[in-house]
Chains A and B, each alone.
Chain A
Amino acid sequence: MRLSSSFRDPHGFMFERDGILYRHVAEEHREHLTRLTESGLCERLFADGLLIPHVEADPALSPGAAAVLMPERVGFVSYPYEWSYSQLRDAALATLRIQALALEHGMSLRDATAYNVTFHRGLPTFLDTTSLEILPENRPWVAYRQFCQHFLAPLALMAYRDVRLGQLSRIHLDGVPLDLASGLLPARTAAKLGIAMHLRMHARSQRRHEKDAVWPDGPTPRGFSIKAFHGLIASLRRAVEALPEPAGASVWRAYYSESDHYTTEALGAKQQLVNGWIARCSPATVWDLGANTGRFAHLASQRGIATTAFDLDPFCVEESYREARSAGIESFLPLVMDLTNPSPGLGWANVERHTLQARGPADLVLALALVHHLSIGNNVPLPMVMEDLARLGRAAIVEFIPKDDPKVVQLLHGREDVFGGYTQDGFERAARSYFDLATREDLPGSGRALYLLERRSVRD
């Protein structure tokens, strides 16, 4: 079955058969694939971890295919609007590195959308093997507009204006329009050569030639030299590298360091229990919901379990991404996600980019110090919270925090208490509607309790 996100490129598409993902390479792309292999570029990109590794499969698997490739499976396909600033920046630099290497091998990228990249084994990895074509002579980069819209524009907005503008990618699936980005950027960025050239002047040129044909009638063009091409890629790389770190403060980053709500004993007990229950469940995938900087998620990732850590704070995600990348942790992927408004189905027929739920369920979800934020902070009734957890995971480790806990008192401060159902009994009743309560442990020195829940439908 063809994947719902794979339909634009006539040179190939992805399909699934018997649970295995394949890439159909069309006849039109045969010579490009041959060049990719014979030029040594494919091997080089594999060695540098820039391109998803593949092996050749039987072409008979897909009628009319010049070749069928079997790429390595990506555990969790994430999208640009779920990445922190550094994740988007690293994906941009990986795309430019691939393009620079491609040029050295007489090839080029036919497109440069951020959706061609995802995080695999902790690193930005290019997925779309059929994007690489034989370098057309004397032609400017066809993917220049896409690169600027998908990478440079959102990065510049995050760096110079507000890191939350990364969410513009969720509205503009073909990248942030350059006139929009130019209008939102502070005036001082006009003095930055890379921004002035690739965003502002580029946007003006787009506006000026909005109604012109791509191939205007007239004399034979003088072309676009390979030196100009190298210069363009180097200039884009410098523009990305010159961006400053986004400014701003996180209210969540200090969550564990404050420690006014946990005694050392309670925190230690919590860590030990979560660790033991992860071992008991032996999951292949773990999603930590509201992961902060990933302290508990790493209890899973350090066992080599494919762990995705979601948090709504881009600064927390930024910090955990940088730490994991510098430590070389392959099994950990932090992502920006607001659980009260998770990633929806987007694009054509709402199925090109998948919902969070459609990318699950995980074998185990962690919901530690989360339920009170959803139930009291966001007025989501406990049964609805438990229903959602049962949709996202086959099993769950959930922490219940009572109303007299300082963190809940803080949430209720200045508000009418309309949460009569928010009790430990109410929590257990809601949990039993969707889960079996496998184990319950009270955390010492606090009124908090930890539950291991197993989804009903799994056992029935």
Chain B
Amino acid sequence: MRKPAVFIALLGLIVIGPLAGPAQAYVDPGTGSFVFQALIGGALAAAVAVKVFWTKIVGVFSRKERSSTED
């Protein structure tokens, strides 16, 4: 699971552009920090999606395995 997540994260870093948003923060969020999050955001979201998808797949198989053992 780690390997595909890392691959997608790196791919996202390359293809997703800066997506800065307005910052009404009382501390300085730092422009570079904001832009960087926007840059990696797509990859991080993809990593979460892959993890959820993977957990579901594993869940399906483990359920099948369990039910076949019970049978």
Residues of A participating in the B interface, judged by any CB pair closer than 8 Å: 8-11, 110-111, 136, 138-146, 148, 193, 197, 201-202, 205-210, 212-216, 221-225, 227-228, 230-232, 234-235
A35 CB to nearest B CB, Å: 17
A57–B43 CA distance with the chains assembled, in angstroms: 45
A224–B33 CA distance with the chains assembled, in angstroms: 13
Our pick among B21, B26, B27, B48 for the contact of A139 (Cβ within 8 Å) is: B21
The residue in chain B whose Cβ has the minimal distance to the Cβ of A212 is: B31
A10–B27 CA distance with the chains assembled, in angstroms: 11
* Interface size, B (range): 20 to 34
**In the complex, B25 has a CB within 8 A of chain A:** yes
The residue in chain B whose Cβ has the minimal distance to the Cβ of A234 is: B48
Our pick among B26, B28, B33, B43 for the contact of A10 (Cβ within 8 Å) is: B26
B54 CB to nearest A CB, Å: 14
A193–B43 CA distance with the chains assembled, in angstroms: 13
Our pick among B22, B32, B45, B47 for the contact of A215 (Cβ within 8 Å) is: B22
Query: CB distance B32 to A140 under 8 Å?
Result: no
Query: CB distance B6 to A202 under 8 Å?
Result: no
A110–B49 CA distance with the chains assembled, in angstroms: 26
Contacts of A144 in B (CB 8 A): 29, 33-34, 37
Contacts of A231 in B (CB 8 A): 41, 43-48
Compute the total of residue contacts between A and B using a CB distance below 8 Å: 126
B33 CB to nearest A CB, Å: 4
Contacts of A202 in B (CB 8 A): 32-33, 36
Contacts of A207 in B (CB 8 A): 32
Most A CB within 10 A of own CB, among B23, B24, B40, B44: B44
Contacts of A138 in B (CB 8 A): 21
Query: CB distance A11 to B26 under 8 Å?
Result: yes
A227–B8 CA distance with the chains assembled, in angstroms: 14
Contacts of A10 in B (CB 8 A): 26
Our pick among A8, A140, A193 for the contact of B26 (Cβ within 8 Å) is: A8
**7 interchain pairs (CB within 8 A)?**
A11-B26, A110-B25, A144-B33, A214-B23, A214-B34, A231-B44, A235-B47
Contacts of B47 in A (CB 8 A): 231, 234-235
A236–B45 CA distance with the chains assembled, in angstroms: 14
Query: CB distance B48 to A110 under 8 Å?
Result: no
Contacts of A193 in B (CB 8 A): 6, 9
Q: A9-B26, A215-B23 are in contact. Are A209 and B32 (CB under 8 A)?
A: yes
A60 CB to nearest B CB, Å: 26
Contacts of B40 in A (CB 8 A): 197, 232
**In the complex, B60 has a CB within 8 A of chain A:** no
- Going nearest first, the 5 A-B pairs with the smallest beta carbon separation are A231-B44, A206-B32, A140-B37, A228-B41, A145-B33
Query: CB distance A142 to B27 under 8 Å?
Result: yes
Contacts of B33 in A (CB 8 A): 140, 144-145, 148, 202, 205-206
Contacts of B35 in A (CB 8 A): 205, 209, 212
Contacts of B28 in A (CB 8 A): 145, 214
Query: CB distance B48 to A216 under 8 Å?
Result: no
